[in-house]
Structure 1
Amino acid sequence: MKTAIQIILTIAILTLGYLCWESIQKPVRFKAALKTRQEKVIDRLQGIRKAQRAYKSLYGKFTGSFDTLINFVETDSLPLVRMEGRLTDSMIAEGMTELKALKLGIIKRDTSFIAVKDSLFGTNFIADSLRFIPFTKDKEFEMAATSLETASGVEVPVFEAKVHNDIFLNGLDRQLIFNLNEEAEAYEKYPGLKVGSLTEANNSAGNWE
Structure 2
Amino acid sequence: MTNTDFSAPRDITPNRMGTAGFALSIGYTILFILYAIVAEAIANAGIHMTDSVFSYLSMVLILNVWLLGLIFSIGGLRSQPKGKAIAGLIISLLPIILFLFTAIIVSPQISTPIRFENELKERKTQAIERIKDVRTAQRAFRAEYQRYAEDFDELERFLHANPTELRCDIEQLRYIPNSDNEFIMETGFTKTSSNRTGPFIEVRAPYKLFLDTIKYRREIIDLIDDEVNNFNRYPGIKFGSMEEANNEVGNWEG
Q: Taking structure 2 as the reference length, what is the TM-score of the superposition? A: 0.59
Structure showing greater relative contact order (alpha-carbon pairs closer than 8 Å, 6 or more residues apart): 1
Alignment partner of 2:206 out of 148, 151, 164 = 164
Q: Which residue of 2 aligns with 1:31?
A: 117
Match of 2:217 among 157, 174, 178: 174
SS of 1:131's equivalent in the other structure is coil
3-state DSSP of counterpart to 1:156: strand
RMSD: 2.3
Other-structure match for 2:135: 49
Q: Aligned partners of 2:206 and 2:92: how far apart in 1?
A: 48
- Secondary structure at the aligned position of 2:118 is classed as helix
> Is contact 2:186–2:201 with CA below 8 Å preserved after alignment?
yes
Which region of structure 1 is more displaced relative to structure 2, 27-36 or 7-16? Answer: 7-16
Preserved CA contact (<8 Å) 2:205 2:237: yes
Deviation at 1:200, TM superposition (A): 2.5
The code of the aligned residue for 1:167 comes to: L
How much has 1:195 moved relative to structure 2? 1.4
Partner of 1:14: 99
Could you say which residue in structure 2 is the equivalent of 1:73?
Answer: 159
Q: CA deviation at 1:153?
A: 2.0
Take 1:172 and 1:43, find their aligned partners in 2: how far apart are those partners?
24
Unmatched segments (≥5 aa) in structure 1: 77-115
How far does residue 12 in structure 1 lie from its aligned partner after superposition?
4.4
Q: Are the equivalent residues in 2 in contact too, given 1:196–1:205 (CA < 8 A)?
A: yes
8 Å contact 1:64–1:159 — kept in the other structure?
Answer: no
Match of 2:201, SS?
strand
Specify which structure has the higher proportion of helix.
2
One-letter code of the match for 2:205?
V
8 A contact 2:192–2:244 mirrored in 1 = no
C-alpha distance after superposition, 1:80-120 (max 9, x if no partner): xxxxxxxxxxxxxxxxxxxxxxxxxxxxxxxxxxxx23xx2
Instruction: Give the letter aligned to residue 221 of structure 2.
Output: F
With the length of structure 1 as denominator, give the TM-score of the two structures: 0.71
Max Rg structure: 2
Which structure shows the bigger proportion of residues in strand conformation? 1
Which residue is 1:198 aligned to? 242
| Displacement after TM superposition at 1:203 (Å) | 1.1
Residue pair 1:63, 1:144 contacting (<8 A) in 2 also: no
Return the offset for 1:7.
Answer: 8.9
The secondary structure found in structure 2 opposite 1:153 is coil
Aligned AA for 1:52? Q
Q: Which string of whole-angstrom CA distances, capped at 9 and with x for unpartnered residues, describes residues 156-207 of structure 1?
A: 2111111111110025411111111011111221111111111132210111
Q: Distance in 1 between matches of 2:147 and 2:215?
A: 38
1:6 Cα deviation after fit: 6.3
Asked if 1:145 corresponds to 2:187, the answer is: yes
Q: Deviations over 1:102-141 (max 9, x none)?
A: xxxxxxxxxxxxxx23xx238xx521111011111x2211
> Which residue of structure 2 aligns with residue 64 of structure 1?
150
Whole-Å separation in 1 of the counterparts to 2:240 and 2:215: 27
Check the 8 A contact 2:239/2:251 in 1, yes or no: yes
Count of residue pairs brought into register by the alignment:
165
Distance 1:168 1:53 in 2: 24
Question: 1:121 aligned to 163, 166, 173, which one?
Answer: 166
- Judge conservation of contact 1:142–1:161 (CA < 8 Å) in 2: yes
Report the alpha carbon displacement of residue 30 of structure 1 after superposing the two structures with TM: 1.1
Unaligned stretches of 5+ in structure 2?
1-82
